[in-house]
Structure 1
């Protein structure tokens, strides 16, 4: 069956942030994303285990795994209310202001063809915003995974 597998479209990825202030399990879609980068080796730490018996060949053990997810796009507002997109606003005005043990929040993402969400407990670093004379205002954030990832099934509304 050579040729039966096909690449997936990048525009099919969905990103959501959990509203930790909500009284029910509430996930806010992050709108305006036009590029993302998943770095599965971010914050990985290794230790050199090379010894004389290695016969000149390098050896190592992984001591820590990590990952990050950066989403970038356009700053979005509601045309009627002028309010910022709820997912972006939560990241910008709620999550990024937290410190210490409160600095963690959950995020999830998946491709529209997948039946499982990838779920992370993470911290967030807000990105730069800006633009030029004929640009739309940019928006971005980088989430750094804390602990092991989990998954959850996609539930139809």
Structure 2
């Protein structure tokens, strides 16, 4: 029996960062993304529970779950104002500059076919920027989840 399932386009993924200084809940789309990698097992820790009565078979318990999201793309600016894309600028100049308890921020992401956002409380590590003679300038960031993920319904703008 043939499956009716179809693969989804990678370009349909949406990524947003919350502007925690906006006063009201404000999400900034991050433009220019050309590739992403979701690593759902990042920072996982296990404890070996193998004992004599394991009969020679390995056993473990997961003691810590983690995840990360690497987003990469092109450094984007507004053609008229020359200002960096608001989502990228927030990551680079606001979030990535914070330390300690202030270093956490929320991000959300989903595919455009999905009706719920995945929401993470997270930290960010800014990525390298660069390019060659005939390249566009690159942009990237790695987001590391802190705590358990949550979800939120997609609402009309």
Same-fold call, TM cutoff 0.5: yes
TM-score scaled by length of structure 2: 0.99
Following superposition of structure 1 onto structure 2, how do residues 65-84 of structure 1 map, counting pairs within 5 Å? 65-84=65-84
Distance 1:72 1:116 in 2: 23
- Residue 135 of structure 1 corresponds to 135
- Residue 48 of structure 2 corresponds to 48
Distance 2:140 2:94 in 1: 15
Following superposition of structure 1 onto structure 2, how do residues 87-106 of structure 1 map, counting pairs within 5 Å? 87-106=87-106
Deviations 1:83-137 (Å, cap 9, x if unpaired)? Answer: 0000000000000110000000000000000000000000000000000000000
Distance 1:105 1:3 in 2: 40
**Greater than 4 Å deviation, 4+ residue runs:** none
Per-residue deviation, 1:2: 1.9
Per-residue deviation, 1:3: 2.7
Distance 1:65 1:3 in 2: 32
Q: Which runs of 5+ in 2 are unaligned?
A: none
Q: Which runs of 5+ in 1 are unaligned?
A: none
TM-score scaled by length of structure 1: 0.99
CA RMSD of aligned residues (A): 0.6
Which secondary structure does the structure 1 equivalent of 2:102 belong to?
helix
Distance 2:91 2:106 in 1: 11
Which secondary structure does the structure 2 equivalent of 1:96 belong to?
helix
Aligned length: 157
